[in-house]
Amino acid sequence: MIIILPPAFVLIGLFDVWVKRETIEKNFGHVSGIKKYFWSVLLAATTVGGTFVAFPVANALYHKGANYNSIFAYVTSASLVMIPMTIMEASILGIKFSIIRLGVSIPLVIISAKLLGNYFNSIDYKLPQPEEG
């Protein structure tokens, strides 16, 4: 992890600076429709470092305008659909197993993300802001 985390955090910082808020809102926000789940799963599949990197990326997404549905789908997918893990799994357990696992997992991720996101929106939850000082 000591090799993966520093470059990952540099990339998260660059993401925070280079990616426009409008781009995140368009693809991960309230107006994005069903494509927010596609982009969340795809981003999670390409994230290296598992949940150590997923949570800082999720925080950056939140502050750029992503809604809770997208964030929950991303964080959950980050530990389920990583490309290197899926390749290793397919080589050990077989491609059929990997396809079945992904075919079952991804719809469940989307359903749970939608339910949790709708709940957080219904109670008008906001993440606490860091204290100045």
More confident residue, 11 or 97: 97
* Cα gap 66→36, rounded to integer Å: 9
Q: Identify whether 128 is part of a domain.
A: no
Q: Identify whether 60 is part of a domain.
A: yes
Number of domains into which the chain is organized: 1
Question: How confident is the model over 83-131, as pLDDT tens digits?
Answer: 888 999 999 999 999 999 999 999 999 999 999 999 998 998 887 777 7
Q: Which residues constitute the domain of residue 65? A: 5-122
Q: Identify whether 130 is part of a domain.
A: no
* SS3 assignment for 59-106: HHHHHHCCCHHHHHHHHHHHCCCCHHHHHHHHHHHCHHHHHHHHHHHH
Averaged pLDDT, 6-18: 85
* Cα gap 92→120, rounded to integer Å: 39
Query: Do residues 76 and 114 touch, judged by C-beta distance below 8 A?
Result: no
Query: Do residues 29 and 65 touch, judged by C-beta distance below 8 A?
Result: yes
* Distance set, CA 19 to CA 6, 9, 10, 11, 55 (Å): 20, 15, 14, 11, 17
Q: Identify whether 127 is part of a domain.
A: no
Res 132 pLDDT > 70: no
* Cα gap 72→54, rounded to integer Å: 11
Q: Identify whether 129 is part of a domain.
A: no
Question: How confident is the model over 44-91, as pLDDT tens digits?
Answer: 998 887 788 889 899 899 989 999 999 999 999 998 999 888 999 999
More confident residue, 9 or 70: 70
pLDDT value of position 30: 87
pLDDT value of position 114: 95
pLDDT band at 4 (very low <50, low <70, confident <90, very high): confident
Q: Identify whether 77 is part of a domain.
A: yes
pLDDT value of position 127: 79
